[in-house]
Amino acid sequence: MEAKSTAKLSFEDALTQLEQIVETMESGEVPLAELLAKFEDGNKLLKVCESRLKDAELKIEQLKKQKDGVVFEKFSTGREA
């Protein structure tokens, strides 16, 4: 799997491909050499998924801050008052 092709994948497409790789690997019917290649491909896809999720998280934070400059949220200490 080429880095260029994985970098252009959407989160959903990368996740679908990753799930297919996991299913194949869990079947136990994959030769060792192919298993290693699939593991490498899976790692690349995992990085794509993590990157897309991080981008989405940053975008949400930006959208929260755009309303009147900065949005202040209630600070929670974890203790009930």
Per-residue pLDDT of the chain in tens (81 residues, 90 and over written 9): 666 677 789 999 999 999 999 999 999 999 999 999 999 999 999 999 999 999 999 988 888 877 656 656 666 666 654
Domain boundaries, the chain: 3-66
Distance, CA of 18 to CA of 9 (rounded, Å): 12
Residue 30 to residues 12, 22, 38, 53, Cα–Cα distance (Å): 25, 11, 9, 30
Whole-model pTM: value is 0.70
Options 1.10.287, 1.10.10, 1.10.3470, 2.60.40; CATH of 3-66: 1.10.287
Angle at 7 between CA 26 and CA 12, to 5 degrees: 55
Token couple for 1: 């799997």
Token couple for 44: 């690349």
